[in-house]
Structure 1
Amino acid sequence: MSYKNFPMVSKVVFGRGSFNQLGDILSPKRLNVKAPFIYIVDDVFQGNSWLTSRIPLSYDDKIYYISANEEPKTSQVDELVEEIILTYKALPSGIIGIGGGTIMDLAKAISIMLTNEGESKEYQGWDLVKKPAIYHVGIPTISGTGAEVSRTTILTGPHRKLGINSDFTPFDQVVLDPELTKDVPKDQWFYTGMDCYVHCIESLNGTYLNSFSQSYGEKALELCKEIFLEDTLSKDESNDKLMMASWHGGMSIAYSQVGVAHAMSYGLGYLLGVKHGVGNCIVFEHLEEYYPEGVAMYKVMREKHNITIPKGICSNLSDKEFDIMIDVALSLEPLWENALGKHWKKTITRDKLKELYLKM
């Protein structure tokens, strides 16, 4: 039996106001005055001096403001990498992602592609990256995706939506400052929070489950129940705990895998551009057959917070479009095996997936 020798984030700082330590954290990592730190920042913060004025810029450091309205694409990664290489003629000292899952995945992918030849689509899959990434830092401003801790970076490529899963993907440093999540809109807070919740349900009900995954998954699930079902927490406490739930949920997958909701959500994301968190919610509504207790509890949470989930997004699709989504979902074999075991192909047919997508 060979066990995964799994890489973790090597340094993490947690606490309200810890973002202010970023300058002290980065300065020893600067290679020289010609090697800048590149900040990839969600463009919702453009003009928000409360956050941007605290980014410790010096020398040739640069901020790229990037819209997170769409999931990250391989073409977008390649364009940014090319621009950075052509602008600086030397490798940056590091890449710092400040934002949600989309921005953190972009930062991880850029840091990998600055040292690995070719295009990022060639690295979509498991353990295809050959050279270590440059130094990279993740600073989440919304909680739930687990992108801050995972060994993958989810990208939509020309042929599939799939992560660059590698030992070189995880961040070297993560800054967990719950204060940065204070202005997240309520529906967004719910969707990414449910991403974390679904991670837990899929990990804890999967065939890959072991004590490592279970201990993290159970803690994340306990926090999700407290945050989304109880009325005992202040907003600050809720934000603190959701940041930790996201971390633990991400860790629970590290040694296991996600399942049916994520596989089908990737299909929606690839074809229709549905954002990952809301995609998980749309799919999870219809998965009682696979996760009866998890879906029932999810519906209580949705009603309690008065969240409306989009409906009918697949109602006018052609057979060809359904086939595209089904191909993407079926290509994620480890997710299906985790959800249903080695013989999953006997029960998950194209007709079965089409029947589920038609409900969405």
Structure 2
Amino acid sequence: MLRNYKAVGRVLYGRNAFAQLDDIFEPLRVDAGSYVLFLLDEYFEGKDLVKRIPMKNGDLIRFMDVTDEPKTKVVDALVEEVMNEKGMAPVSVVGIGGGSVMDYAKATRLMFTNPGSSARYQGLDLIKNKGVHCTVVPTISGTGAEVSMTTVLTGPEKKLGIKGDFTPADQVVLDPDLISSVPDPQHFYTAMDCYIHNVEALNGNRKTVMGASLGRESLQLCQEIFLSGNSRTPENDEKLMVASYLGGLSLTYSEVGACHAISYGLATVTGIHHGIGNCIVFNQLDEFYPEEVKEFRKMMEINKVDLPKGVLKDYSSEDIEKMVDVALTLTFMWAHVAGPEWEKVITREKLRDLYMKM
């Protein structure tokens, strides 16, 4: 049976779109005590962007530590803290930042209306109640978190998304001016998440015409940006923001593949961030995506990116085995890569050898 996908509700796009945030929240502030919960990357604490947020009396702002990947325990603690302080849920949870902050916002809004720990809901269609309104504002582009139906969290046992119809944000604000100050090489690593999304979506058994059409357009934009010789222009900022949006949408109608499955294992054990982790893994995947890995290396050369080497040299064999364990749990990704009998091709030995190269 075909799935009737839920997409993002509204998209506000264009330069200086951030200035219209108040227009989004005003219709939601109907009851006495109504408030908005703003979640920001702690990078912005004390920065001018905070002064531009249209906060009203009673609104809350929390600066999120994104040193590590988003965690279920952080989501649970935040919801408990806010409910103890306010006694009621916010009218909107707003995530302003990169993929981690947007995922925190998407997960937090769900836990105001669903009981227990967010770890209970890691998986597909486990959320039963619609969350409060959610707005996401990317300040770095590439993850596709602004539009995806997944919020990726690391729990006590696994790194896995809360995925389903209740996960997509209700409102996305795409303002290309917000990503112009992203430092190198983070700008490149996060953008490559988008590039890799597209490569994986376009190469696998679950590819569809819809997903492939979105993925090809996003991939072309990535190529225009990172093969141009100057990726850091206002025009390329705008292209990257659109590429991230389209790349995130493409995954709704396809699936990620080998790189994401292996990088989930890498991140679970090491805590390495998703963007750079994907790049480290993708650089070893000539067997799966030979032409695209070659192009990726050309992009690194043009953009003067020196990818870290030997990141696993100090990890034990037990650590490597745990990475393999995590990667092998992502059966839907491997089915996309190698079909229903993927276990005959994707062996522990193959994955162990790939991790050892890192």
TM-score bracket, shorter-length normalisation: over 0.9
Counterpart pick for 1:334 among 332, 335, 346: 332
Using the alignment, how far apart are the partners of 1:236 and 1:31 within structure 2?
38
**Offset at residue 124 of structure 1 (A):** 0.4
For residues 42 and 33 of structure 1, what CA distance do their matches in structure 2 show?
A: 29
* Aligned position for 2:206: 208
2:124 to 99, 114, 126: 126
Question: Which of 175, 178, 185 is matched with 1:177 structurally?
Answer: 175
1:12 is aligned to: 11
Instruction: Quote the residue 2:23 is aligned against.
Output: 24
Contact 2:201/2:254 (CA < 8 Å) preserved in 1? yes
One-letter code aligned to 2:220? E
Structure 1 residue matching 2:11: 3-state secondary structure? strand
Q: Percent identity?
A: 47
CA contact (8 A) 1:37 1:95 kept: yes
Would you say the 8 A contact 1:34–1:59 is kept in 2?
no
Q: How is 1:134-145 mapped onto 2 (pairs within 5 angstroms)?
A: 134-145=132-143
From 284, 309, 319, give the equivalent of 1:321. 319
Structure 2 runs not aligned, ≥5 long? none
In structure 2, C-alpha distance between the alignment counterparts of 1:57 and 1:317, rounded to whole Å: 46
State the distance in 1 between where 2:216 and 2:230 align. 20
Q: CA deviation at 1:231?
A: 3.8
Q: Distance in 2 between matches of 1:234 and 1:289?
A: 31
The equivalent of 1:186 in structure 2 is 184
Give 1:309 shift. Answer: 1.1
| C-alpha distance in structure 2 between counterparts of 1:65 and 1:316, whole Å | 32
Q: Please state how far the C-alpha of 1:232 moved relative to its aligned partner.
A: 7.3
- Tell me, in whole angstroms, the C-alpha distance in 2 between the residues paired with 1:220 and 1:132: 30
Alignment match, 2:146: 148
Q: 2: CA distance between counterparts of 1:206 and 1:230?
A: 28
- Name 2:275's counterpart in structure 1: 277
Partner Cα distance (1:69, 1:277) in 2: 13
Q: Which runs of 5+ in 1 are unaligned?
A: none
Q: Cα offset for 1:82?
A: 0.4
Using the TM superposition, give the Cα deviation of residue 59 of structure 1 relative to its aligned residue in structure 2, in angstroms.
2.0
Conserved 8 A contact 2:229-2:303: no
Q: Which amino acid aligns with 2:143?
A: T
| Preserved CA contact (<8 Å) 1:213 1:255 | yes
- 1:238 is matched with 236
Q: Deviations over 1:97-144 (max 9, x none)?
A: 000000000000000011000101100011100000110000000000
Alpha-carbon deviation of 1:316? 2.4
Counterparts of 2:127 and 2:82 in 1: how far apart (Å)? 20
Q: Deviations over 1:151-171 (max 9, x none)?
A: 000101110000001110000
Alignment partners' CA distance in 2, 1:250 and 1:268: 22
Q: Distance in 2 between matches of 1:233 and 1:192?
A: 13
Q: Which of 61, 68, 71 matches 1:70?
A: 68
TM-score by length of 2: 0.98
- Could you tell which deviates more after superposition, 225-234 or 136-145? 225-234
CA contact 1:269–1:275 (8 Å) conserved in 2: yes
Asked if 1:34 corresponds to 2:41, the answer is: no
Is 1:84–2:82 an aligned residue pair? yes
Structure 1: distance between partners of 2:279 and 2:184:
15
- 1:216–1:249 CA contact under 8 A, matched in 2: yes
Q: Is the 8 A contact 2:141 2:179 kept in 1?
A: yes
Give 1:315's aligned amino acid. K
How many pairs align?
358
- Structure 2 distance, partners of 1:303, 1:159, is 38
Query: CA-to-partner distance for each residue in 1:59-112, whole Å, 9 max, x for gaps?
Result: 210110112221110000000010011111011111000000000000000000
Measured against aligned partners, the alpha-carbon deviations of 1:167-201 in whole angstroms (never above 9, x if no partner) come to 10000000000101111001011001100000000
1:35-114 correspondence to structure 2 within 5 Å? 35-49=34-48, 51-114=49-112
| Alignment partners' CA distance in 1, 2:232 and 2:154 | 37
- SS of the equivalent of 1:194 reads helix
Question: Hey, what's the Cα distance between the residues in 1 that align with 2:108 and 2:275?
Answer: 22
Deviation, structure 1 residue 233? 6.9
Structure 2: which amino acid aligns with 1:48?
Answer: K
What aligned pairs does 1:341-352 form with structure 2 within 5 A after superposition? Answer: 341-352=339-350
CA distance in 2 between counterparts of 1:289 and 1:99 reads 34
Tell whether the 8 Å contact from 1:35 to 1:88 is kept in structure 2 after alignment: no
Change (3 A) 1:311 1:104: same
Q: 1:233, 1:270 → 2: CA distance?
A: 31
Q: Secondary structure at the match of 1:186?
A: coil
**RMSD in angstroms over aligned alpha carbons?**
1.0
Q: Say whether the 8 Å CA contact 1:114–1:134 is kept in structure 2.
A: yes
1:234: Cα distance to partner? 6.6
Shift, 1:306, TM fit: 0.9
